[in-house]
């Protein structure tokens, strides 16, 4: 589905429509023919889909009063659209979003909606991919991670050193419990997901906290570096 933003005419368009893809890069808006990628059907992909299905199924298992509570409070939450606009969530959207986050960090589902709150955020991130030494370091602040805050680590496969945009390429490679101290060694987790590091390729890492009692995520912090 294509999303179109109207101004005096069409101000922007994103997504897919009748075999075409609308997007934007450094040089402005563009349109290209839609290409359907091969579905790799990986174990990680299957696990993510199961979590999403479990969260959606759980919505049908809560009471009508609980669903009303989620619908009432959802207007106080929002997400950022592809255009950068704030878009309010529905009760179902909020329920699935927060519970999928909780399942991802290994915690049980919640049926009662949390009050809107700001989760403590990441204030600093540095990564050091080293293909020669077979190490991949990650340093972050604040450290250690706060109480009731799980750290979710995502990374990208390696790309050419000239690449500047990594949108949509980040995949979860690990989750750490509260009170985890910086730095982290993420090389083994990275290898398990993407394979060996390659000298001269650029890698991206994105981290954020997820609050253990609510599933509310913090704003991600990202860093990129070239493997030495």
Q: Of 83-87, 88-92, 205-209, 210-214, where does mean pLDDT reach its minimum?
A: 83-87
Each residue's pLDDT tens digit, 60-78: 999 999 999 999 999 888 7
Evaluate whether 105 touches 152 at the Cβ level (below 8 Å): yes
Per-residue DSSP letters for 150-166?
EEEEEE---B-TT----
Quote the tokens at residue 85.
Answer: 């606009």
Write the pLDDT tens digit of every residue in 132-187.
999 999 999 999 999 999 999 999 999 999 988 888 899 999 999 999 999 999 99
The structure tokens 């950068």 sit at: 84
The closest alpha carbon to 149, from 97, 100, 193, 101, belongs to: 101
> Are 194 and 187 spatial neighbours (Cβ–Cβ below 8 Å)?
no
Asked if the 124-226 domain carries CATH number 2.60.40.10, the reply is yes
Nearest of 148, 74, 59, 87 to residue 113 by alpha carbon: 74
Q: Which of 14-28, 140-154, 175-189, 190-204 has the lowest mean pLDDT?
A: 14-28
Span 115-138, pLDDT tens digits: 888 788 999 999 999 999 999 999
Q: CA-to-CA distance for 95 and 99, rounded, in angstroms?
A: 6
Domain ranges of the chain: 43-104, 124-226
């Amino acid at each position: 589905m294509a999303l179109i933003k109207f101004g005096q005419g069409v101000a922007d368009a994103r997504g897919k429509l009748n075999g075409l893809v609308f997007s934007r890069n450094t040089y402005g808006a563009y349109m290209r023919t839609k290409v359907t990628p091969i579905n790799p059907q990986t174990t990680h992909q299957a696990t993510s889909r199961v979590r999403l299905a479990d969260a959606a199924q759980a919505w049908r298992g809560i009471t009508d009063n609980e669903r009303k509570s989620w619908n009432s409070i959802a207007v106080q939450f929002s997400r950022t659209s592809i255009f950068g606009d704030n878009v309010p969530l529905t009760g179902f959207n909020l329920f699935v979003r927060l519970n999928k986050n909780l399942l991802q960090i290994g915690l049980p589902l919640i049926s009662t909606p949390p009050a809107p709150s700001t989760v403590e955020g990441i204030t600093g991130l540095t990564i050091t991919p080293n293909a020669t030494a077979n190490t991949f370091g990650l340093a972050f602040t604040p450290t250690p991670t706060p109480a009731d805050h799980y750290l979710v680590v995502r990374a990208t496969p390696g790309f050419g050193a000239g690449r500047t945009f990594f949108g949509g390429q980040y995949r979860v490679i690990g989750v750490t419990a509260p009170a985890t101290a910086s730095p982290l060694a993420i090389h083994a987790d990275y290898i398990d997901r993407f394979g060996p590091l390659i000298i001269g390729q650029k890698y991206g890492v994105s981290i954020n906290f997820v609050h253990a009692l609510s599933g509310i995520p913090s704003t991600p912090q990202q860093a990129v570096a070239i493997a030495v």
